[in-house]
Structure 1
Amino acid sequence: MESTHTRPRLTEIQVAELDLAAPAGPVLSFGPAPDPDGPAVRSGDVYALVRLRGRPVATVVCRVPPGADPAQAVAAAARDRLADLPPEPGPPGDLPRTSVVVATRERASQLARALDSLIAQDHPDFEIVVVDNAPSTDATRDLVQSKYGDLVRYVREPVPGLAVAHNRGVAVADGAVLAFTDDDVVADPHWLSALTAPFAADPGLGCATGLILPALLRTPAQILLESHGGFAKGFAPRDYDPARPPADEPLFPFTAGSFGSGANMAFRASVLRSVGGFDPATGTGTPAKGGDDLYAFVSVLAAGRRLRYTPDALVWHHHRETWQDLRNQAYGYGAGLTAYLTATLARRPALLPALLRALPRGLAHARAITAHRDDPAGAASRSPGEHGAQSHPWPRVLSRLERRGMLAGPLGYARARLRVRGVPLPWDPKADRRREPAEESRRRESAEERSR
């Protein structure tokens, strides 16, 4: 039996926001999940998103001494941190018609919180599609129909699995861009506009991802996950171009986890459909445990399209709260990683030579990551706030679970493929390629020629 000393004793970190350029001076407020009956931000540990004129630019973790002004304490820590700011984005073009797809299963209360934030988006032209995946009750349907009416479209998908549910959303959505998020997020009001603006600016773009920050850091499991990277990919925009592989990523494009995460991603609809969408044998709800988003990222890059990470597109994620949740998550991350690589081999054999060349370095890289987590000195070597929260040693039991998941991922994918055998793709990829507007093709080719 696992001893209790493997579970770190960590205390709550308050999640807050602060805009350094507010007209009346820095004002500190709770993040996306305030306690309406609780006090304002108080002394103690604070994790704060720093904004400049509303734009997210950094996170800081600091301790507010008793009796100190929390806003001034956090502002001082933020100014110390902000030596270099990411460049201001250019003005967006005409934002494309967008469909937001949210797959869910029996989590109506969380879904309502997410939908409330999605309805409040400042994007000028979008729809919301909820895909109810293998429901055992009518709770989700009743919520959508009774509370949201015509504001949200409800679709039922009886086959379990996140990728299957996403593919159902792809089939029914009418947007030129398809955005995906989860039922356990709160989207910043500017999220959808920021996530879809790159598609207007770059006709050769196939995918965009955004910033994911923690909505709460109340439990040891939530704090540990965020301390060791969470889902955030930093505050610097980045482009991934298959024609110009990044020099600092020798395993590109197989390190797909560095591109973004499934809770905050968008695709050009014609591109996603033309590459076959999401592999239905991957994702939560299948024996593969995950990897559906990673497979889609690599599929888009393998098709010659670019991917852009844009930190201005922000969602707040409610991390799982319990130790058992974190154990399951560690195992699932490992399984999803190797399941996605197996899916890439099985469905895109043309990538096999490149994958085989990268495999030894990839396995060494994965072992180095988990070994670094195991080493308390590795945690101590990171400065507070480098990954968004204070550094704490990663329990060895979680690293072992992650490695076990890596070993199980290929078999899990094979089992999942047997389960979904015969499940048809809900659209015709070849037909979608034929429907891609000629004008869009010409613009893309022109932009690619200029970039060369």
Structure 2
Amino acid sequence: MLTRHGLNSKSDAVSVVMACYSMERLQGIVAAVDSIAAQTLQPAEIIVAVDHNRALANTLRREMPGICVISYEDGPRGASGARNAGVAVVSTPYTAFIDDDEIADSYWLSELIHPFADDRVVGTGGRYRAVWRSPKPSWFPEEFGWVVGESFQGMPIETSRVRNVWSGNMAVRTAAFRAVGGFRVGFGKSGERSQPEDTDLCIRMAELGDDFHWVYVPASVIDHDIPFERSTFQFFLARCYSEGKGKIELRNDRNGSEELDDEREYVRGVLTSGLRRYVFGDSVSLSKAATVVAGIVSAGMGALSAIVCKRGQFVGSR
């Protein structure tokens, strides 16, 4: 049942999985679940996968008796393992993912699963709309929205085929997700580590068949909470560094496979255009221009650190 705007309809085709881990986010977890329950297209089931926190799991079972709450404790900490544990109990052909710091628009789910009418679509992803707790910094360039989990300048404005989407606003064919083993546990975002587990998953799932691909659906919208600590320049630089490092680690793990064309085009196209706009165009801002340069340099340093580390491992193994 792939109804685009079926008002208050119930779907037996899709379940929603949300990973969470902290009691401090209890209010956000409940709000996220409420937004899923208010969808114009109701999912068959909402599954909350709690990452190594029995107290939180017990609290959620009391607070939300109609929701399936599971405890993930069998593997290493991280959203990847928790999401996989959630999908393990899914019985529907499609699974959607949302995070515990997000609120879904009422048409989020119906828009997100609509492209699956095409059998070649193995997964979809939607648009992130940032909700800043503090004022958005004047120096923050729109081209770097991904730093805080916001759709950024340069992304498609229409439903489009893409290489990858982000795991907090994603839907997959459940069987295809399971066929590749789900998210790669031990590779992802945990503590200071920030590796692109969603990009890794998207590439592996697309490789399952000829012309299998992902679709970005900008009409499928979630509001993403941006806390104060993500509005600092220090966080910006650290996140750019981690992204550069993580993408090279992804390439290394795939035995040197050339999967970073999107990143090169992003730098050559999106960031170059942004610099022109901030220096010579109709949105002149020297602070944003300087931030773009700083972001490029920081990501480059992260990439270089991963390259040096890989070469060191190679030399050490000889």
Normalised-by-shorter TM-score class: 0.7 to 0.9
Q: Where does 1:131-146 land on structure 2 (aligned, <5 Å)?
A: 131-135=49-53, 138=55, 140-146=56-62
Q: Equivalents in 2 of 1:221, 1:342: separation in Å?
A: 35
Residue identity over aligned pairs, in percent, reads: 22
Q: Equivalents in 1 of 2:132, 2:189: separation in Å?
A: 22
Q: Equivalents in 1 of 2:38, 2:138: separation in Å?
A: 27
- Partner AA of 1:296 in structure 2: L
Q: 1:282 aligns with which of 187, 207, 210?
A: 187
Aligned counterpart, 2:160: 238
SS at match of 1:115: helix
- Partner AA of 1:281 in structure 2: G
Which structure has the bigger radius of gyration? Answer: 1
Relative distance call for 1:402 and 1:215 in structure 2 (3 A) is same
Aligned counterpart, 2:288: 392
Relative distance call for 1:215 and 1:151 in structure 2 (3 A) is same
Query: If the length of structure 2 is used for normalisation, what is the TM-score?
Result: 0.76
Relative distance call for 1:363 and 1:284 in structure 2 (3 A) is closer
Q: Equivalents in 2 of 1:161, 1:120: separation in Å?
A: 28
Relative distance call for 1:114 and 1:124 in structure 2 (3 A) is closer
Aligned counterpart, 2:278: 379
Aligned counterpart, 2:40: 122
Query: If the length of structure 1 is used for normalisation, what is the TM-score?
Result: 0.55
Q: Offset of 1:339 from its aligned partner?
A: 2.6
Residue by residue, what CA displacement relative to the aligned partner does 1:148-188 show, whole Å, maximum 9, x if unpaired? 11224233235212222222122122221111121111100
Q: 1:405 aligns with which of 299, 302, 305?
A: 302
| Number of residue-to-residue matches in the alignment | 289
Residue by residue, what CA displacement relative to the aligned partner does 1:102-143 show, whole Å, maximum 9, x if unpaired? 1122132322222221221122342111222233x72x2244
Indicate if the aligned counterparts of 1:208 and 1:266 stay in contact, CA closer than 8 A: yes
Aligned counterpart, 1:171: 88
- Partner AA of 1:336 in structure 2: G
Residue by residue, what CA displacement relative to the aligned partner does 1:314-372 show, whole Å, maximum 9, x if unpaired? 111112422143333222322332232233338xxxxx4xx2xx76x677546647974
> Structure 2: any 5+ residue segments left out of the alignment?
311-318
Q: Equivalents in 2 of 1:212, 1:285: separation in Å?
A: 21
Relative distance call for 1:114 and 1:279 in structure 2 (3 A) is same
Aligned counterpart, 2:243: 333
Relative distance call for 1:306 and 1:174 in structure 2 (3 A) is same
SS at match of 1:169: helix
Indicate if the aligned counterparts of 1:288 and 1:335 stay in contact, CA closer than 8 A: no
Q: 2:64 aligns with which of 126, 145, 148?
A: 148
- Partner AA of 2:171 in structure 1: A
Residue by residue, what CA displacement relative to the aligned partner does 1:12-42 show, whole Å, maximum 9, x if unpaired? xxxxxxxxxxxxxxxxxxxxxxxxxxxxxxx
SS at match of 1:392: helix
Q: Equivalents in 2 of 1:98, 1:187: separation in Å?
A: 15
Residue by residue, what CA displacement relative to the aligned partner does 1:259-294 show, whole Å, maximum 9, x if unpaired? 422221110001111122111132111775221110
SS at match of 2:34: helix
Q: Offset of 1:409 from its aligned partner?
A: 4.6
Aligned counterpart, 1:7: none
> Structure 1: any 5+ residue segments left out of the alignment?
1-88, 241-255, 347-351, 385-390, 414-452
Aligned counterpart, 1:388: none
Give the CA RMSD over aligned residues.
Answer: 3.5
Does 1:321 pair with 2:247? Answer: no
Relative distance call for 1:297 and 1:311 in structure 2 (3 A) is same
Q: Equivalents in 2 of 1:203, 1:234: separation in Å?
A: 22
Does 1:308 pair with 2:230? Answer: no
Q: Offset of 1:308 from its aligned partner?
A: 1.6
Q: Equivalents in 1 of 2:299, 2:52: separation in Å?
A: 27
Indicate if the aligned counterparts of 2:10 and 2:44 stay in contact, CA closer than 8 A: no
Q: Offset of 1:383 from its aligned partner?
A: 5.3
Q: Offset of 1:306 from its aligned partner?
A: 2.6
Does 1:298 pair with 2:203? Answer: yes
Q: 2:29 aligns with which of 102, 111, 115?
A: 111
